[in-house]
Each structure stands twice: as C-alpha cells, then as structure tokens.
Amino acid sequence: MTGAPAPEGRRSEALKERYIVDGDDFQAAGSASSAMKKLLRSLGVPPEAIRRAAICMYEGEINMVIHANGGEAEVAFDGETITMTLADSGPGIPDPELALREGWSTATDAIRDLGFGAGMGLPNMKRNSDEMTIDSTAGQGTTITMTVRV
C-alpha cells in the first residue's frame, strides 16, 4: 500500500520512516510526502523546513511514478537534518546534468496531458534541498538523496 509506513527492522540514531511508492498510481502519488509532513509536524519541525522537504519528496515521488514504475522512499530525521532517500529500479538517468535543466523532460505525451512532465521536478528538488545527490546507473535504477537542514 502506498504511503503506509513499512515496518522498520532495526533502528539507528535517526528516526526513520519508509514509504512504498506505487508505480503508475497518480491518485496515490503524493501520499509519501503527505505522511512525511504529518511526521515532521508531530516532531515540531518548523513549517518552512517542512515545506521545502515536502516539495522535494513530492517531486521525487511523482518522478518515480512517471519514469520508474514506483520505488521506495525513506525519510530520516536526527533533530537537525531531514534526509530523504528515493530509490527505484527504473531506467536510470543517463545525463543528470541535462536532467537538472529546467524544462528538460523525457515524459511521454500521455503524462504531459495529465499535467506532469514539465521538466521542473529535478530543478525544484535541487532548489528546495540543501544537498542533493543523484546516483544513477542506466538500466538499473536511480537513488536520489536530498537533505534539508532544520
């Protein structure tokens, strides 16, 4: 089920929550960012940091749905930094530099008809995070890690 916290086996220093992002389910896209917002709010994280993190998570989720048939999202919070890790086993991003350019998109027309695929996802994620790394191998998948400092 999308958005439901997956059971956590072992716990490290930071508080972690995992969400399964269901591929091709536009209705559920956004539920991980919604659940994360709720979590961060319950911990007393300031609204501005929640806003930035939620944009990162939301755009990342949408990307996983559009391009990678879903994946897994994890949020970790240690009291100072929100770390979001989004991992999928989709087609990968051959040229991250190019993908970060505003307006660049490989989304299909069908996706664009739904109002997505404007090429603003990755740039938005970059803009709203303090750090972002893209680890991608063509044909194997992508892992994006973003941090937002509180």
The phi-psi region of residue 84 (left if phi > 0; otherwise alpha if psi is between -120 and 50; otherwise beta) is beta
Residue type at 110? A
Task: Give the footprint of another protein on this chain (CB under 8 A).
Answer: 5, 7-8, 11, 15, 30, 33-34, 37-39, 41-45, 47-48, 50-51, 54-55, 58, 77, 79
Which residues face 74 on adjacent strands?
18, 85
Nearer to another protein, 50 or 136 (CB): 50
Closest-CA residue to 133 (of 90, 91, 100, 111): 100
Please give the C-alpha separations between residue 27 and each of 30, 39, 98, in angstroms, as whole numbers: 8, 21, 29
Nearer to another protein, 2 or 136 (CB): 2
Min. distance of Cβ 55 from another protein in angstroms? 7
Output the smallest distance, CB 71 to another protein, in A.
Answer: 19
Is residue 147 helix, strand or coil?
strand
Q: Would you say 26 or 89 has its CB closer to another protein? A: 26
CB of 138 to another protein, least distance (A): 30
In the complex, the smallest distance separating the C-beta of residue 46 from another protein, rounded to whole angstroms, is 9
